[in-house]
């Protein structure tokens, strides 16, 4: 493996890289930086999120651009607003003392504000295709004399329908420019653009086996759908300095998970496309400045988040394909630092995770969730360590005086115990956790029953709306509502026997055979029955009752056999330690 000083970079840039903590170039950087610096050809590079693609084209561009130019020298197109901001910030952090002006332009921000910035003179413009087209049509942006044109995440731009805009922008650039195209995948549409609009070019691909980050520890937990949140909370509480992104599949799930985290007292935020641009920027800045330490996001919304010292990436929902998995976990374990990627799967998702593991040649090992007593012990240890450090400091006289007064009538042990109980009673309360059967990864279902609901996706019912209705009408706790499954025309939910009886009695008293629910000003009704059969309705009487968990498909064929993705056996999860140092400095 080459070092940065073997790639042809200047001493000034090398000093910036050293200050930022970069030790060795990633494979895509090793291949493309010398080619851009020393060559004259255009460049096509395959690079996933997390492989340092911004530096791969940003570093040589910084070296080759002139200072204080009056014209735009480089244009970088990105598919999303968040990524435009991120790329601009990253290049700005890499330029060091070189006098280059970098400006992001994107929809959702005042176009007049962008016009004023462009009028002052900009060297590098980072923008989304739609907003760049707006400025070109208004003639507030001129790109006919640019030296570099970069398409970042080109495949995503095509997926989002920007192909015509990209071609139109290409048409307004000069023939003399150098073009760099970076893409996570290389579909035919990408290669056709390269052949049509680029001059002679080199193609650099990173082998699939190199796409994952070697310093990222990859583990998975097999849990029921209803246990994911409880399992995730245990992982957070086992860590001393959790700082991570949590990936969910849908916007609704982002809202649900982030809200539940906040309700439990965690410093979390949610991020998805339905939020206003100003709110998304505020949330991103909070996370980057570590005012929040948990970011719950969809894949698209998280594309612009590129924080170098994340401790964890959590796949709360299993990604759809290997490329998405690599995109996600590549956000931790960067710049020579260790990171952890955790994936939660249900038994039905085991085969898909196994496929992902084989496809990317990754060692993803199975671990057992920490027990409640282990989490509490970990918390106690951290509290004790914190207090021991506080005691070493010299207290102020007024507090010493209060201590002396307390000691007149109380023993030191009683005083300390009272203070601990008052300060940490909630944090150390085992009842705040729902017990999970770690031997199977699912909540003990004894004393619970499965209810059938005569409404499903076709009626607009969602897991969140059903849970909210149950909580609102019957005052049933969040933790008691388990394993909601929304089918096309009907749904299931698991509740403790007492709460289930309470709910069914409510239906009978209020609505006879059905239940009334208002949503979006449209009255809907649905009925409930006991049971576990998942084959569909069995008449007006509902289903037969159940006193235990329904076995999942394939249950017993692989449970209890340890990791199926690595050679070792399953082990209990425990946080990494680093001799008292911040885990992000390992």
pLDDT at residue 474 in the model = 79
Pairwise CA distance, residues 558 & 550, whole Å: 17
Q: What is the pLDDT of residues 473-511, one digit of tens each?
A: 777 877 788 888 888 888 888 887 667 777 777 776 554
Report pLDDT digits (tens) over 340-373. Answer: 999 999 887 887 898 888 878 888 999 988 888 8
Name all domains of the chain by residue range, CATH numbers in brackets: 4-206 (3.40.50.300), 216-372 (3.40.50.300), 378-432 (no CATH), 448-530 (3.30.70.330)
The angle, 0 to 180 degrees and rounded to 10, between the axes of the packed helices 53-64 and 81-94 is 50
User: Is it the case that residue 209 has pLDDT exceeding 70?
Assistant: no
Kindly state the helix (H) or strand (E) to which residue 498 belongs, with its residue range: helix 497-511
* 583, pLDDT greater than 50: no
DSSP 480: G
By CB neighbour count within 10 A (0-12 exposed, 13-18 middle, 19+ buried), where does 357 fall?
buried
For residues 400-423, one letter each, b for 16 or more C-beta atoms within 10 angstroms of the residue's C-beta and e for the rest, the string is eeeeeeeeeeeeeeeeeeeeeeee
CA distances from 336 to 24, 76, 163, 328, 370 (A): 8, 27, 37, 18, 28
How high is the pLDDT of residue 448? 64
Question: pTM of the full predicted structure?
Answer: 0.49
pLDDT value of residue 10: 92
Phi-psi region of 266 (alpha: psi -120 to 50; beta: other; left: phi over 0): beta
**Cα distance between residue 149 and residue 43, in whole Å:** 11
* Cβ proximity of 445 and 439 under 8 Å: no
Which of 42-56, 76-90, 203-217, 426-440 reaches the highest mean pLDDT?
76-90
**pLDDT > 60? residue 558:** no
Q: Residue 336: pLDDT band by 50, 70, 90 thresholds?
A: low
Q: 502: part of which helix (H) or strand (E)?
A: helix 497-511
* 30 or 497, which is more confident: 30
- Encode pLDDT of 124-173 as tens digits: 999 999 999 999 999 999 999 999 999 998 888 888 889 899 999 999 99
């Amino acid at each position: 493996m080459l070092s940065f000083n073997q790639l042809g970079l200047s001493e000034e840039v090398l000093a910036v890289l050293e200050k930022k903590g970069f030790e060795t170039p990633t494979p895509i950087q090793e291949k493309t930086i010398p080619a851009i610096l020393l060559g004259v050809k255009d460049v096509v590079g395959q690079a996933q999120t997390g492989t340092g693609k911004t530096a791969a084209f940003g570093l040589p561009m910084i070296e080759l651009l002139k200072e204080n130019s009056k014209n735009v020298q480089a244009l970088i197109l990105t598919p999303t607003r968040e990524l435009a901001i991120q790329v601009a910030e990253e290049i700005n952090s890499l330029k060091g003392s070189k006098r280059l002006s970098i400006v992001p332009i994107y929809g959702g921000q005042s176009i007049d504000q962008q016009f004023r910035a462009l009028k002052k003179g900009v060297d590098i413009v980072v923008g989304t295709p739609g907003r760049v087209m707006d400025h070109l049509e208004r003639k507030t942006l001129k790109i006919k004399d640019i030296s570099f044109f970069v398409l970042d995440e080109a495949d995503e731009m095509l997926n989002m329908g920007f192909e015509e805009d990209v071609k139109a922008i290409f048409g307004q650039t000069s023939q003399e420019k150098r073009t760099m195209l970076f893409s996570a995948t290389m579909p035919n549409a990408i290669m056709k653009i390269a052949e049509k609009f680029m001059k002679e070019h080199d193609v650099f691909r990173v082998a699939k086996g190199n796409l994952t980050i070697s310093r990222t520890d990859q583990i998975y937990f097999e849990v029921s759908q209803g246990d994911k949140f409880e399992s995730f909370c245990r992982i957070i509480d086992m860590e001393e300095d959790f700082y991570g992104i949590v990936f969910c599949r849908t916007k609704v799930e982002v809202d649900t998970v982030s809200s539940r985290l906040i309700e439990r007292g965690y410093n979390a935020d949610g991020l998805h496309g339905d939020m206003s641009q100003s709110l998304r920027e505020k949330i991103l800045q909070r996370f980057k400045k570590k005012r929040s330490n948990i970011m719950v996001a969809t894949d698209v919304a998280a594309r612009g988040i590129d924080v170098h010292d994340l401790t964890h990436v959590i796949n709360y929902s299993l990604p759809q394909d290997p490329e998405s998995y690599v995109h996600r976990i590549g956000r931790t374990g960067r710049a020579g630092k260790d990171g952890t990627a955790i994936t939660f799967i249900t038994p039905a998702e085991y085969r898909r995770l196994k496929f992902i593991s084989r496809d990317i040649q990754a060692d993803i090992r199975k671990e057992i969730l920490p027990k409640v007593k282990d989490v509490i012990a970990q918390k106690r240890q951290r509290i004790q360590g914190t207090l021991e450090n506080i005691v070493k400091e010299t207290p102020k006289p007024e507090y010493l005086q209060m201590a002396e007064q307390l000691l007149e009538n109380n023993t030191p042990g009683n005083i300390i115990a009272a203070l601990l109980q008052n300060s940490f009673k909630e944090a150390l309360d085992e009842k705040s956790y729902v017990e999970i059967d770690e031997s199977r990864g699912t909540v003990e279902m004894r004393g619970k029953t499965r209810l059938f609901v005569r409404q499903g996706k076709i009626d607009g019912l969602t897991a969140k709306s059903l849970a909210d209705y149950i909580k609102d009408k019957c005052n049933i706790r969040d933790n008691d509502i388990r394993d909601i499954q929304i089918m096309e025309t009907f749904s299931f939910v698991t509740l403790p026997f007492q709460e289930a009886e309470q709910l069914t009695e409510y239906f009978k008293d209020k609505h006879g055979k059905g239940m009334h629910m208002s949503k979006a000003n449209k009255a809907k009704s649905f009925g409930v029955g006991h049971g576990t059969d998942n084959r569909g309705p069995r008449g007006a009487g509902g289903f037969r009752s159940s006193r235990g968990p329904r076995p999942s498909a394939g249950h017993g064929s692989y449970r209890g056999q340890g990791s199926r993705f690595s050679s070792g056996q399953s082990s209990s999860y425990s946080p990494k330690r680093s001799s008292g140092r911040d885990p992000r400095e390992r």
